[in-house]
Amino acid sequence: MAFNSPPVLTAWASIVGPREGDGPWGHDFDWIMEDYLFGEQTWEKAESKMLRETVKHAISKRNFEPADVELLVAGDLLNQLVSSNFAARELSIPFLGLYGACSTMAESLIVSSMLMDGGFFAKTVAAACSHHYTAERQFRFPTEQGVQKAPSSQWTATAAGAVLLESIGVGPRITAATIGKVVDMGQKDASDMGSAMAPAAADTIKTHFQDLNLPTDYYDLVVTGDLGKVGMALAQQLFVRDGLTPQPNYSDCGVLLFDESQEVFSGGSGCGCSACVLCGPLLKKMLAGDFKRLLFVATGALMSPTSSFQGESIPGIAHAVAIEN
């Protein structure tokens, strides 16, 4: 989709955990939490608070109140989307909950943009979040158990990002988007989600360039959601297979978020990973003029623990959002 009236990113905010704050972009986030509880009794409540406070902080930059926002489109990784649901309860904004696993930040930006370009809303917020310790105990093992990780595994980010979109205003614009299909190459290893998602990322990126008839070096940066080092290397091979020449200038939020020294294995992951990299360093660099055209391709692994126990492979999805300044 190419937008006739591209929605404007007039404000954004990010909140991250201590480990994410220690990474290379600590100074680019709005708020670094001192611990993982954020003043709450449980990690789950902390995660919901992160999302709520990120939304409030983003809209406060334009001196708006939650009541000024016409629609909240958000999602997270927790069962039944409780972080988003409880944040939406506190904010009291008309709410659409989405689940796209780690692709959620792109999905929420796309849905918001289409609804604004369609003329339904003038002010919306798109947001996503994840929390390392809630995801760990929901998807993997009790955190107390301290299970060893595979080198291909990724570290779920404790992070939230929110973007305020306005139909009129000053800032980067969402000019185009591509909604992905579910792609599944039969990968079953839940410790290697990057490989499961890379084919979906490559498929969506190829479709985006084809649909819009763009040269493959149109964007100053193409950034995938959270493929990590393993998935990013595979995506680069798939670009070659798909004949994307010249190769786009390419990176991955999962690789960017942490330092080599931080022992996060293949890299960061979780809805919050791409959300905070976008709402932290990427949009900041865009405003500073470091690049003008960004293709943000958040990627999601759409399995559940139950589907994996039942022998299913891991379906992947990727949605692409073109942001231009």
Site residues (CB under 8 A) for its own copies?
1, 41-42, 44-45, 71, 75, 77-82, 85-86, 88-89, 92-101, 107, 110-111, 114-115, 117-120, 138, 179-184, 302-307, 310, 312, 315, 317
Q: What DSSP character marks residue 168?
A: S
Looking at beta carbons only, is 261 or 310 nearer to its own copies?
A: 310
Q: Give least dist CB 258 to its own copies, A.
A: 24
Looking at beta carbons only, is 256 or 320 nearer to its own copies?
A: 320
Q: Give least dist CB 307 to its own copies, A.
A: 5
Please report where in the chains the tokens 């919050």 appear, as a residue: 272
Residue at 293: amino acid letter: R
* Cα angle value 255/43/271 (rounded, 5°): 35
Would you state the structure tokens that stand for residue 13, as one six-digit string? 């905010």
Q: Give least dist CB 188 to its own copies, A.
A: 14
Q: Are 277 and 85 in contact (CB under 8 A)?
A: no
Q: Give least dist CB 158 to its own copies, A.
A: 17
Looking at beta carbons only, is 118 or 215 nearer to its own copies?
A: 118
Q: What DSSP character marks residue 2?
A: B
Cβ burial 278-304 (10 Å sphere, 16+ → b, else e): bbbbbbbbbeeeebebbbbbbbbbbbe
Looking at beta carbons only, is 50 or 255 nearer to its own copies?
A: 50
Nearest to 13 by CA among 136, 107, 105, 121: 105
Looking at beta carbons only, is 77 or 255 nearer to its own copies?
A: 77
1 Cβ partners below 8 Å, 6+ apart?
110, 114, 176, 177, 178, 179
Q: Give least dist CB 201 to its own copies, A.
A: 15
Q: Give least dist CB 117 to its own copies, A.
A: 6
Question: Alpha-carbon distance 196 to 269, whole Å?
Answer: 13
Looking at beta carbons only, is 207 or 236 nearer to its own copies?
A: 207
Q: Are 230 and 323 in contact (CB under 8 A)?
A: no
Looking at beta carbons only, is 80 or 148 nearer to its own copies?
A: 80
- Rg (C-alpha) for the chain, rounded Å, is 18
Angle between the 43-60 and 82-91 helix axes, to the nearest 10 degrees?
50
Q: Give least dist CB 72 to its own copies, A.
A: 9
Question: Alpha-carbon distance 218 to 62, whole Å?
Answer: 31
Report CA 298 to chain centroid distance, whole Å: 5
Looking at beta carbons only, is 42 or 247 nearer to its own copies?
A: 42
Q: Give least dist CB 314 to its own copies, A.
A: 10
